[in-house]
Amino acid sequence: MDLNLKVAVVTGAGSGIGRRTALAFLEEGYSVTLVGRRQKPLEATAADAGEAAARSLVVAADVGDPVAVRSLFSKTRESFGRVDVLFNNAGIFGPSGPFEDILYEEWKAVMDINVTGTFLCAREAFRIMKDQHPRGGRIINNGSLAAHVPRPHSAPYTASKHAVTGLTKSLSLAGREHDIACCQIDIGNAATDMIKAVLQDGAGATQADGSMAVEPTLDLDHVARAVIHMASLPLEANIQFMTIMATTMPFIGRG
């Protein structure tokens, strides 16, 4: 491996936003650690990179497990020498239904991945970025429009994404003295399997007034390019929060 290349770690790299963004980092010349719970989808992502797959490292890991997270960052440093960018992307939507019917186990599953997983990966990246030479790096957290306003019947997901925003702000402050920039991308209706389920495969999504409405989606390439732009800035500059969304989706004016 060329230790002069920039290094990115992308969680949730086996599908959706994570997969497309990992491929975009590889296209930009980065070395990339592909992280996800399942080995085969990660290997498929690497295979789709063609010759650039030689700059990839596949690590199957549960981001909610502190031992697994420490191991994946250790493997990254052993393979590539450093970490320049972490895209904290892994997440699940969780249950969709009346608030009073949410099970503890469902709530905990969302928090374990969306919040604890984001914290654990950020902590390990922070430790490496703080001590490496040249020091510093960038942590990009995947928020959501749910970090601003909720969809109906989405309390666990909405709470988790509000927590991610708080973590982003805290990391931004903590990273100042170590040349570590932290930022957040809030994505609306990117065309992933998760949003297809929310939108019921085009049938429509429940709105705040109880009606159903068909909502537009956003091509994943636009999201990937936005993340690459955030990552490409020098460390003295930071896009603290970016919102990228399908232009006519019901976000402005939602509710």
The per-residue pLDDT for 206 is: 81
CATH topology for 7-188+218-245 is: Rossmann fold (3.40.50)
- Mean pLDDT across the chain: 93
Of 157, 160, 171, 249, catalytic? 157
The radius of gyration computed from the CA coordinates of the chain, to the nearest angstrom, equals 18
Three-state DSSP at 31 gives strand
Active-site residue flag, 157: yes
Rounded average pLDDT over 24-40: 97
Where in the chain does DSSP place strands (E)? 7-11, 31-36, 56-60, 85-88, 137-142, 180-188, 205-206, 212-213, 241-245
Rounded average pLDDT over 102-116: 97
The per-residue pLDDT for 254 is: 58
Q: Could you tell me the residue ranges of all domains in the chain?
A: 7-188+218-245
List, for residues 175-207, the tens digit of each pLDDT value.
999 999 999 999 998 888 777 777 777 777 888
The per-residue pLDDT for 208 is: 82
Residue 162 has pLDDT above 80, yes or no: yes
